Chain A
Amino acid sequence: MKLAATAGGGLLLGFNWTNSGAATASVVNNTALAAGTEFNSYLSIAADGIVTIFSPNPEVGQGIKTAFPMIVAEELDVDWTKVKTVQAPLDKNKFERQVTGGSGAIPHSWKRLRQAGATARQMLMEAAAKRLNVPAGELSTEKGMVIHKASNKKLSYGELAADAAKLTAPTDVKLKDIKDFKLIGTSVKNVENKNLFTGKPLFGIDFHREGMLYAMIQRPSAFGMKIKSADVTAAKAMPGIVDVVTFNNNVAVVGKSTWQVMKARKALKVEYEKEGDLESTSDHDRLFTELMNNGEATERRKDGDVEAAFKNAAKVIKSEYQCPFLPHSPLEPMNFFAHVRPDGVELVGPTQTPDLARNETAKLLGIDPEKVTVEMTRMGGGFGRRLKADFAIEAVEVSRLVKAPVKLIWTREDDMTGGSYRPAVRYRFEAALDAQGNMIGYKLRGVGINAGNSTREHNFPSGAVDNLLIDSVEHKSPITTGAWRAPITNFLAFAEQSFLDEVAITAGKDPVQFRLDLLDKAKKAPVGEIKYDIDRMKAVIQLAAEKSGWGKKKDVAQGFSVYFSHLSYVAQVGEVAMQNGKPVLKKIYAAADCGVVVNLSGARQQVIGGVVDGLGHAMYGNLTFKEGAPEQTNYNSYRLIRINEIPEVEVHFVDNGIDPTGLGEPALPPTGAAVANAIFKATNKRLKNQPFIEQDAFKGVS
């Protein structure tokens, strides 16, 4: 980062937005730089009043490149049009949470960003107090100006920046009262709009370096296969091909353009042999049944005496739900640029975890991580896929072998068949009801394929049921899995919220009231640990019910769902109408509690996008396997939701002034059940498996 740029007549403030234990904001000058003070973000105010904020978090579409500066600007009281944002590269030791994932970006940095802005503001006021010779207490700020009301004098931040730079940054600053926010909570347009809409090179796949080569990799044809032999002569002889190299289980074709490499890869003659089980989807169905009944289960949570509760139950409800594997399918496929030089490694590309890419590169090459630089580009979606560094490491391997700068690209087919999927899971729920219809017992077993713990044992309704047992069984498979937007909960929420609907209906209770009663019980007589906020959950339930006119509509069938994930709460109501004997999804209401909404425009899109994502994958997403090989390889056989398939979505936010708790994921999990419960209401058909399109309720419906 060029820090010298603002040295002439401006204020440069360094701060650390990731580490709450780190030093507070302070002025960056040559002494601080020489001392190697560890900042990872900077705020500069130039003499012309332009404020530049360097944000180190990679942008994946969650809008932090806009939201971060908004938070700083709010406390600084600066005119938004004077703020510029710059993406900072991975800076040696200085980034502790330079990761996009887990909906954590805003919650993590909220306070630190505010402090940075407030610190700068206070310093500018101090500088103005000296200049005007008045007590700082008589000054106020507005839109990039320090104002002395009594004398009607105004000084701009730009005029004061150089003086402020000579002061020591205060260690305790007063933050604004949330009700005085002017910028936070408003709709601010994405700072990158102009570049995005005119086709500027922003994404990893757009990166170009003079003299770089292009590479594609032929990976094993199926999970459980490995390379036996590779005849590369024909491919090597094709135009534009510079080299064909083999490493691990990969054959990499390297050449002068993407198309030439793509064509040559098809000319490879690679033979594979079995190295593990070649699993098919039919095997998984069989395995699920076997393991559900006889698998070795790991207990996750146990409250009370489940056995007795089920023995004494007036009624027992039992139900199973299942989901398939899913690829992430970000529209920009995996890609990375790597240049392995004798003196170090340069990496450029779209990654949610630059640190991981750096460390794995260092490990692979046996060099000091300090010798690896990572420049982050904008990402064409991630959905969890770019939390891994496999594609970056592939680029490093190829660059090392061909001794040249290389841009490695995955095709769509590579992306869909390359693994790291959302794991396939089956759940079995059991509920015991007493004679009054109270849920006195609850059992959940998850069987997952490379899913780890396929349950979230402390989520609702845990804490609200006296006797409860949650456990999970794991099957190890050669099919690789990874975090997929709202890991585990992306399907568990559907299964759980559908099952609770079944229970409520069997107990003869209104599904909304049923949930509220359970929450009241958890509040009054909590069973075991409770790791969600009962009041926040109730509030979103009530907001969704109110806004959707729950239970009051005659012309549509409504379905309810609520889920807590990634620290935020979202309740949804789906509305289905019957048209020509077929269920048609008309509308989804979403009520979200993510604490303070920073950028209303971005937040609304996160919720709507989450709903569309949740709906689309519940409805159509299906990756099946035949002898270890995915049967869908591109968007012609793997269906993603399209514009003519979306219902109306109405979004509401709970206004409670709580610190932001993230919104990249929490809107997705509740959607499937809101839709499926509405479809049940309309058709009496219960959707238990995804994708919906292949279930009975949708047979013959397009």
Chain B
Amino acid sequence: MAKYKLQINSKSYQADVEPDTPLLWVLRDHLGLVGTKYGCGIAQCGACTVHVNGEAVRSCVLPVSAVGTSKVTTIEGLSEKGDHPVQVAWDEVDVAQCGYCQAGQIMTAAALLKKKPKPSSEEIDAAMTGNICRCGTYHRIRQAVQVASTKTK
């Protein structure tokens, strides 16, 4: 066990865990941030997507010991009031079916739009293809990313 100081959603957290513990489980089991989801554990589904220094990262394969002083953002911290353009677009388009994958989808989309505020349809697909939605909400995800891109300045 070792103590890790983490910068998550602009707050300081401490976790006393083993070095190989994936950030996903530190968030979920130790810090009570359960918005980040487990789907596969092997970087295949995207349910666990968070931002590390602004980049979309699969937290299920990121050992806590590798996080260091990086700034981590989870779905809980994407915006203060749940009004990030992507979150607003997700509501407008009414994207969710079961909703389980959507935190990961939103985090991937937010990272994409930060880099590319006006992505083409192909760029959206390319960025979102790592995120599985078992309920098949892909059409709405695509549409919501487009809607969000009109809201981002």
**Those of B82-117 within 8 Å (CB) of chain A:** 82, 87, 90-91, 94, 96-103, 106
Enumerate chain B residues within 8 angstroms of A634, measured Cβ to Cβ: 40-42, 44
Query: In the bound complex, do residue B22 and residue A259 qualify as a contact, i.e. CB atoms below 8 Å apart?
Result: yes
With contact pairs A193-B96, A259-B22, A332-B98 given, residues A642 and B129 touching in the complex (Cβ less than 8 Å): yes
Which residues of chain A come closer than 8 Å to B5, judged between CB atoms? none
A197 touches B136 (CB 8 A): no
Report the interface size class on chain B.
Answer: 35 or more
Check B75 against A199 for contact (C-beta < 8 Å): yes
Considering residues B35, B90, B99, B141, which has the most beta carbons from chain A within 10 angstroms of its beta carbon?
A: B99
Contact B44 A635 (CB under 8 A): yes
Please tell me which stretch of A280-288, A456-464, A566-574, A605-613 contacts chain B, meaning at least 4 of its Cβ atoms lie within 8 angstroms of it. A605-613
Bound CA–CA A636/B41 (angstroms): 11
Contact assessment for B82 and A198 in the assembled complex, using a CB-CB cutoff below 8 Å = yes
Interface residues of A in 97-129 (CB under 8 A from B): none
Contact with A612, one of B38, B40, B136 (Cβ below 8 angstroms): B136
Could you say which of A259, A608, A613 contacts B29, with CB atoms under 8 Å apart? A259
Q: Tell me which residues from 375 to 416 in chain A have a Cβ below 8 Å from any Cβ of chain B.
A: 378-383, 411-412
Contact present for B140 and A257 (CB under 8 Å) = no
A190 and B99 alpha carbons, distance in the complex (Å): 10
B134's contact among A200, A239, A330, A378, by CB below 8 Å, is which? A330
Interface residues of A in 52-103 (CB under 8 A from B): 60-63
Contact A616 B136, CB 8 Å, known A193-B94, A200-B35 = yes
Which residues in chain A, 152-209, are within 8 Å of chain B measured between CB atoms?
187, 189-190, 192-194, 196-203, 205-206, 208
Q: What chain B residues lie within 8 Å of A192 (beta carbons)? A: 96, 99
Q: Which residue of A lies closest to B22 (CB)?
A: A259
Instruction: Report yes or no: A635 in contact with B42, Cβ–Cβ below 8 A.
Output: yes
Contact of B41 with A642 in the complex, beta carbons under 8 Å? no
Question: Interface residues of B: mostly helix, strand, loop or mixed?
Answer: loop
A186 to chain B minimum Cβ distance, whole angstroms, is 12
Does the CB pair A258–B98 fall under 8 Å? no
| Assembly CA distance A205 to B78 (angstroms) | 21
- A133: Cβ under 8 A from any B Cβ: no
Q: How far is the CA of A344 from the CA of B27 in the complex (A)?
A: 32
| B98 near A331: Cβ-Cβ < 8 Å | yes
The minimal Cβ–Cβ distance linking B18 to chain A, given in whole angstroms, is 7
Q: How far is the CA of A257 from the CA of B38 in the complex (A)?
A: 14
The answer to whether B30 and A257 have CB atoms under 8 Å apart is yes
CA A420 to CA B95, docked complex, whole Å: 29
The residue in chain A whose Cβ has the minimal distance to the Cβ of B101 is: A331
One of A439-447, A500-508, A643-651 at the interface: A643-651
Give the Cβ gap from A598 to chain B, nearest Cβ, in Å.
14
Asked if A319 CB lies within 8 Å of chain B CBs, one says no
In contact, B18 and A196 (Cβ under 8 angstroms):
no
Q: CB within 8 A of B138: which of A196, A329, A610, A646?
A: A646
Q: Is B76 an interface residue (CB 8 A)?
A: yes
> Quick check: A608 and B100 within 8 Å, CB to CB?
no
Q: Closest 5 CB pairs between A and B?
A: A199-B35, A612-B136, A380-B100, A61-B98, A199-B75
List 29 A-B pairs, Cβ < 8 Å: A61-B96, A61-B97, A61-B99, A62-B97, A63-B97, A189-B94, A196-B96, A197-B75, A197-B90, A197-B106, A199-B33, A199-B36, A202-B99, A239-B1, A239-B18, A330-B98, A331-B133, A332-B100, A381-B97, A412-B39, A608-B140, A610-B136, A616-B136, A635-B42, A640-B134, A643-B142, A646-B136, A646-B138, A649-B139
Q: A258-B25, A612-B138 are in contact. List 19 more A-B contacts (CB 8 A).
A: A60-B98, A61-B97, A61-B98, A62-B97, A190-B94, A193-B94, A196-B99, A197-B106, A205-B34, A378-B99, A381-B135, A382-B98, A609-B97, A610-B136, A612-B136, A635-B40, A640-B134, A643-B138, A646-B138
